[in-house]
Amino acid sequence: MWSNDVVTEFTNLHPALTCFWHPVATSDSVSDTPFGVELAGQRWALVRLDGAVAAFADQCPHRRARLSAGSIVNETLQCRYHGWRYTGSGACVEIPALGPQASIPARARLTPAAHVTEADGLIWLAPQEPRAPCPSLQPPPIDSHDVATIHLPVMRVDANAALLIDNFLDEAHLPFVHKATIGGAGPEEIPRADVDRKGLSFTAIRMHEFTNRTDPAVIAGERPAVQQRRMTYSYTAPLHATLLLEMLDAGDWQYLTFTVSPVNATSCVVYQTLTGPCLTDPVAAKAAAEYEMSIFEEDLDLQRSALQGLEFPLEIETELHTRADRVCVEFRRVLADAVRY
């Protein structure tokens, strides 16, 4: 196990990440052929065998060839190099060069992930026994009609994974990074948030006034543009965050999930969903997805221009924080506890 010493920086390759659930692929990516992924510097082969998804370290024990380059033969995973075949449990059942009656060596066995599951349209992987439950992308129960969830485009980003979560949780940047979209109304004072922490997760709620530019009643001149909104941020270690936006005057709401999967030392993959009423309409869903991605593109531009190559400090004293940074400070504290194990 890794050191219990004070952790000063979070990196995409921190060994503690192997003890948590991470999304590694969309469900439709894993079909009738093996699919290779990389998680925190480790390569894995995903396969569907007998209808279930399995995950193995992506190398055959024979000559270490990548299993993700192999194929599915009679509900077994066959290595492309010498044709060795493995079941969903990782056991080798055939070595063609030895003949059908040969004794299979005990070491001819694949290394499986501790857990792999399929939920909410994603394949989730825990390389070692996870310290926390698998995150859910399902919204809290809200009485609404025509509610649907849409998966936004999956994107690979050259960034520290924690920086992306920090950006998602950081409300103070909106007027400056998102002037063309959600921050167009300009800066506002952000009071110190009350945070409810439970283990390796927390929730923070804030009420405020905002300018609702997308409310149809505002566009029609039937309701004031300045309205009340409740914002509920939630975070679960190590790299999963959500935001529930409740537009109280308009009776509308949106629920966003933002999950980052570290790939290697310099890059990660971002998985996002948007849930809300009226998204069952394909036209509305397409417009909402495009709008959300335009917001995310503004964040990516910030990453490229101002944050590229930065590490993520976990010691609070490393950076200058104010009361407006309460949620982001708590994020650092929880993440530090998650990787200091």
**Could you report the per-residue pLDDT of 143-176, keeping only the tens digit for each?**
777 899 999 999 999 999 999 999 999 999 988 9
Lowest mean pLDDT of 224-233, 279-288, 312-321, name the range.
224-233
The whole-model pTM stands at 0.93
Which pLDDT does position 158 carry in this prediction? Answer: 95
Q: Above pLDDT 90, what percent of the chain? A: 74
123: tokens are: 């394949």
Which pLDDT does position 227 carry in this prediction? Answer: 81
Under 8 Å CB-to-CB from 248, ≥6 apart: which residues?
Answer: 227, 228, 229, 230
Which pLDDT does position 162 carry in this prediction? Answer: 97
Task: Please say if the pLDDT value at position 296 is more than 80.
Answer: yes
Q: How long, in residues, is the chain? A: 341
Which pLDDT does position 215 carry in this prediction? Answer: 74
User: Domains along the chain?
Assistant: 21-126 (2.102.10.10), 147-339 (3.90.380.10)
**Angstrom distance (rounded) from CA 17 to CA 335:** 11
Residue pLDDT, tens place only, 191-226: 888 899 999 999 999 887 777 777 778 788 878 878
Task: Please say if the pLDDT value at position 4 is more than 70.
Answer: no
Closest to 43 measured CA to CA, from 129, 125, 160, 159:
125
Which pLDDT does position 6 carry in this prediction? Answer: 55
